[in-house]
Amino acid sequence: MSKICTCLREFLSLLEEEDQLIRIKEEVNPEPDIGAAGRAAANTPEKPAIFFEKIKGYKTPVVTNVHGSWQSHALMLGMDKNTPVKEQFLELNRRWDKYPVEPEIIERSDAPCKEHTITENINLFELMALYRINEQDGGFFLSKAAVVTGDPEFPDDLNKLNVGTYRIQVKDKDKVGIQALAFHDIAIQLEKAERKNEPLPIAIALGNAPLVTFMASTPIAYDQSEYAFAGALQNGTPVQIVKADTCSHLYVPASSEIILEGYIIPRVRQVEGPFGEFPGSYSGCRKQCEIKITHVTHRTNPIFENLYLGIPWTEIDYLMALNTSIPLFKQLKESMPEVVAVNAMYTHGMGVIISTKCRYGGYGKGVAFRLLSTPHGMPYSKVVIVVDEYVDPFNLEQVMWALTTRVRPDKDVTVIPNCPGMPLDPSSVPAGMHSKLIIDATTPVAPEPNPREVELLKPPAGTDKWEAIIRNYFNC
What is the distance between the alpha carbons of residues 282 and 278, in angstroms, rounded to a whole number?
9
How distant is the alpha carbon of residue 116 from its chain centre?
Answer: 29
* Closest of 359, 334, 357, 330 to residue 342, by C-alpha: 330
From edge to edge, which strands make up the β-sheet containing 383-388?
339-346, 351-356, 383-388, 433-441, 413-420
Q: Where are the alpha helices (DSSP H) in 66-139?
A: 70-76, 85-96, 124-127
Q: What is the pLDDT of residue 464?
A: 86
pTM metric for this prediction = 0.88
Average the pLDDT over 75-88 and give the result. 93
Q: What is the mean pLDDT of the chain?
A: 92
DSSP-derived secondary structure letter, 28: B
What are the phi and psi torsion angles at 275 (to 5°)?
A: -150, 135
Q: What is the pLDDT of residue 426?
A: 84
- 339-385 residue pLDDT tens: 999 999 988 889 999 999 999 999 999 999 999 999 888 988 999 99
Taking the domains of the chain in order of start, what are their residue ranges?
8-305, 336-441
8-305 placed in CATH 3.40.50.1100: no
Question: 183 pLDDT band (50/70/90 cuts)?
Answer: confident
Q: What is the pLDDT of residue 170?
A: 96
Q: Which of 115-129, 179-193, 319-333, 340-354 bottoms out in mean pLDDT, i.e. has the lowest? A: 179-193
Residue 104: how many other CB atoms lie within 10 Å? 14
What is the distance between the alpha carbons of residues 413 and 442, in angstroms, rounded to a whole number?
12
Average the pLDDT over 222-251 and give the result. 95
Annotated catalytic residue, options 91, 226, 272, 277: 277
What is the distance between the alpha carbons of residues 205 and 127, in angstroms, rounded to a whole number?
13
User: Could you tell me if 200 and 253 are in contact, meaning their C-beta atoms sit under 8 angstroms apart?
Assistant: no
Q: Which of 48-52, 274-278, 393-397, 450-454 bottoms out in mean pLDDT, i.e. has the lowest? A: 450-454
Question: 461 pLDDT band (50/70/90 cuts)?
Answer: confident
What is the distance between the alpha carbons of residues 392 and 377, in angstroms, rounded to a whole number?
21
Active-site residue, 18 included: no
3-state SS class at 403? helix
Comparison of pLDDT for 257 and 349, the residue scoring more:
257
Report CA Rg, the chain. 23
Average the pLDDT over 134-157 and give the result. 93
Q: What is the pLDDT of residue 5?
A: 94
Right CATH number for 336-441 from 3.40.50.720, 3.40.50.800, 3.10.350.10, 3.40.1670.10? 3.40.1670.10
Residue 404: how many other CB atoms lie within 10 Å? 9
Q: What is the pLDDT of residue 1?
A: 65
What is the distance between the alpha carbons of residues 252 and 81, in angstroms, rounded to a whole number?
29
Comparison of pLDDT for 181 and 383, the residue scoring more:
383
Specify the DSSP element, H or E, that contains 120.
none
Residue 389, classified by CB atoms within 10 Å of its CB into exposed (0-12), middle (13-18) or buried (19+), is middle
User: Could you tell me if 250 and 244 are in contact, meaning their C-beta atoms sit under 8 angstroms apart?
Assistant: yes
Q: What is the pLDDT of residue 108?
A: 96
* Closest of 53, 126, 70, 113 to residue 318, by C-alpha: 70
Q: What is the pLDDT of residue 443?
A: 92
Q: How far apart are the first and last CA of the chain?
A: 20
Residue 351, classified by CB atoms within 10 Å of its CB into exposed (0-12), middle (13-18) or buried (19+), is middle
CA triple 204-243-115, angle to 5 deg:
75
Question: 476 pLDDT band (50/70/90 cuts)?
Answer: low
430 preceded by cis ω (within 30°)? yes
